[in-house]
Amino acid sequence: MEIKAILFDLDGVICSTDEYHYKAWKSLADDLGIYFDKEINLRLRGVSRMDSLEIILEKSSRQYTKEEKEEFASIKNNRYVKLLDGLGNSDILPGINEFLEECKRNNIKTALASASKNAPYIIKKLNLEKDFDYLADATKIVRSKPYPDIFIEAARGLGIDRKYCIGIEDAISGIRSIHAAGMKAVGIGDRKILNEADLIFKTTSDLNFKEIETYFKKEK
């Protein structure tokens, strides 16, 4: 296949906001007296805010109304956004600046395909606004990963046919979302967890456009 665009996940690929999501959810769960730990937190990767809340509430003995749930999600988000205050260039994961430059040198279009409604704010804090040709708007997406919607929206925004797009993800729900969109998937992380990805790099520092290009040249 010919590569014309690379679509990036945010949390776990461009930066690590995972710990901040965890802290904000943990403080909400503690306030509600609901058990929450790092293992449950792993299930929230790439999952939308409301779907994440539903996972946390699985451990609760009582039912909550839609209004209560909306209030909880908003409390969590306010705490999360406060934790993002100090975010800056040094929070960009290793090798990402170089990889984005490599994409530009090779005339590859770049877009962000994050489930986070805070993605534009985070990209601004990281000073990466000029490095992306398009930021897919998570507020327009109803079905979160593993549904293909956000990757389809990213390709649409770039005006590039999905068959020329590669997605990069650190979560299995994201790899499934890329495949459901009819694109090829590059995984960042553990080979055992991301075994459905077409190509896997251990860390973001290992990302290399030439290697990706050579690998997918053999694919249809």
**Which of 5, 6, 12, 212 contacts ligand B16 by CB under 6 A?**
12
For residue 168, what are the β-bridge partners? 8, 186
Question: Cβ of residue 11: shortest distance to ligand B16, in angstroms?
Answer: 3
Does 47 bind ligand B16 (CB under 6 A)? Our answer is yes
| Binding piece for ligand B16, criterion CB under 6 A, among 3-11, 90-98, 188-196, 200-208 | 3-11
CA-derived radius of gyration, the chain: 17
Nearest CB to ligand B16, comparing residues 3 and 44 = 44
Question: Cβ of residue 102: shortest distance to Mg ion, in angstroms?
Answer: 21
| Binding piece for ligand B16, criterion CB under 6 A, among 39-47, 62-70, 83-91, 211-219 | 39-47
Does 178 bind ligand B16 (CB under 6 A)? Our answer is no
Kindly write out the interface string for residues 151-190 of this chain, putting x where it contacts Mg ion by CB under 5 A and - elsewhere: -------------------xx-------------------
Does 118 bind ligand B16 (CB under 6 A)? Our answer is yes
Does 21 bind ligand B16 (CB under 6 A)? Our answer is yes
Does 160 bind ligand B16 (CB under 6 A)? Our answer is no
Give catalytic residue positions. Answer: 9, 11
Q: Which residues in this chain contact Mg ion in the complex, by CB under 5 A?
A: 9, 11-12, 46, 170-171
